[in-house]
Structure 1
Amino acid sequence: MELLKALRGTAAIRDFTDEPVPDEVLYRILDSARFAPSGGNNQGWRVVVVKDPALRAELRDLYAKAWRDYVAIGEAGLRAWSPTADREAEAAAIAAGPKHEPRGEFVRNLDKVPAMLVVLGHLDVLAAVDRDHDRYTFAGGGSLYPFVWSLLLAAREEGLGGVMTTMHVREENAVRELLGVPENFALVSTVFLGHPVERPTRLKRSEVPDFAWIDAFGGPPLSPEVTGS
């Protein structure tokens, strides 16, 4: 697939057909994704391909638990788990629970998704340069999430669709125990892949001038016209 077409048209897909994803296809996807960049070329990602029905059911239930909290926080008018959120308000929303049983065929049928990949990050090799800041840190993810995105792009080339979700991170300790993950590895994402029932053709995103400025935050927006320096 032509690169720009893939970049502009790779949507998050959560609705899949029953067609299986063979191991040889998963292998090809991972074989391409492994060329993603990482700090020091340390390639700190590891992947658990989850096939066992019992493990899949456990992961579905852990996801559903986190999803209920997400919905409850959203219903309270908060952005769930925002680093700047009011923690007490969040806790109150979670304690109250969602007003209605959360909808979502994707969550209910998570264990039936054709391919389930749990992506882990090796903490010993991450250069998290913002590790000691007094704010939320994310720089270490720069050595891990390019791999996840490359995985999704490679899946697109194979005619598949997929979605990266971090919902399982909410239940990281339980996932770690379930899959036998060592303490020096963190849960990065769960990626679900399959043949899409429908593929969106037009994605909605902000325009470049809405988020790119010249010389200062909120400065003159970047324009496609040539301007002086």
Structure 2
Amino acid sequence: MTEALRGTAAIREFTTETVPDEVVYRILDTARFAPSGGNRQGWRAIVVKDPEVRLGMRDLYLTGWDDYLALGAAGLVPWAPLADRAAEAEALKAEPLETGHPRLAFARNLHTVPVMIAVLADLNSLAAVDRDHDRYTFAGGASVYPFVWNLMLAAREEGLGGVMTTMHVRAEEEVKALLKVPGDLAIASVVFLGHPVRRPTRLRRSAVEEFTTLDGFDGPGFTG
């Protein structure tokens, strides 16, 4: 378990080897045991196989891609809740900056990734306790994203790799129309899985002391 938790990286480069439906089913069958508020399991999943629909999903991903690059090139965290909206608007006036970006191949070819799973959130099932706050809300995701992470862990157990993406949320209405999703569901993530070209062995993460403090936000770094 520790090895899986420390070694499950985001994979965006895949071989052309196909993934049988029975493997995808096993991944979903394992992922369904993720926890959720009230055990309501407010997720739905769509396995996307139709070539034309896949192309549509690629194109809708790319609609947000240029904006993502432009914001990053301006030194901004793309769509951060507390970002300077004026600075964002100025950054988005720039010409697209795709050339040489390490994720460019993934963005342009995601329709060819062996497994594409759209994960939806049932808005009637989420206990979004921060729904009425005057800030960005995220608590409802606690009942959906554990399922997405379970997909990643279950895929790793099957010898696969993958990545959970959220770019399609930028074009949610178009994605919902393409996938025929009812109005009371939202796009939470689109997961891509396949046989990795390479699997990173040394992941870079902050040390515990850098993000954990004792007895208050201004307390000393927590150490074991």
Q: TM-score range by the shorter chain?
A: over 0.9
Contact kept, 8 Å, 1:16 with 1:194, in 2: the verdict is yes
1:11 matched to which residue of 2? 9
* Distance (whole Å) between structure 2 residues aligned to residue 30 and residue 218 of structure 1: 41
Contact kept, 8 Å, 2:69 with 2:98, in 1: the verdict is no
2:86 matched to which residue of 1? 88
Per-residue deviation, 1:198: 0.2
Per-residue deviation, 1:111: 0.6
Instruction: Say whether residues 1:223 and 2:196 are aligned partners.
Output: no
1:133 matched to which residue of 2? 133
Contact kept, 8 Å, 1:118 with 1:187, in 2: the verdict is yes
1:111 matched to which residue of 2? 111
Counterpart AA for 2:186: A
How high is the sequence identity, in percent, across the aligned residues? 64
1:60 matched to which residue of 2? 58
Runs of 4+ in 1 over 3 A off after TM superposition: 99-103
* Distance (whole Å) between structure 2 residues aligned to residue 39 and residue 186 of structure 1: 17
- Partner of residue 28 from structure 1, selected from 19, 26, 29: 26
- Provide the alpha-carbon RMSD of the alignment: 1.1
Contact kept, 8 Å, 1:69 with 1:97, in 2: the verdict is no
Per-residue deviation, 1:65: 1.4
* Distance (whole Å) between structure 1 residues aligned to residue 97 and residue 196 of structure 2: 31
Within a 5 Å distance, the mapping from 1:162-177 to structure 2 comes to 162-177=162-177
* Distance (whole Å) between structure 1 residues aligned to residue 112 and residue 98 of structure 2: 24
Counting matched residue pairs gives: 222
* Distance (whole Å) between structure 2 residues aligned to residue 127 and residue 191 of structure 1: 23
Contact kept, 8 Å, 1:75 with 1:98, in 2: the verdict is no
Contact kept, 8 Å, 2:70 with 2:91, in 1: the verdict is yes
Q: Secondary structure at the match of 1:163?
A: strand
Consecutive unaligned residues in structure 2, runs of 5 or more: none
1:149 matched to which residue of 2? 149
Per-residue deviation, 1:102: 6.6
1:78 matched to which residue of 2? 76
TM-score for the superposition, normalised by structure 2: 0.97
1:227 matched to which residue of 2? none
Q: Deviations over 1:108-160 (max 9, x none)?
A: 11110000000000000100000000000000000000000011000000000
Per-residue deviation, 1:90: 1.1
Consecutive unaligned residues in structure 1, runs of 5 or more: 225-229
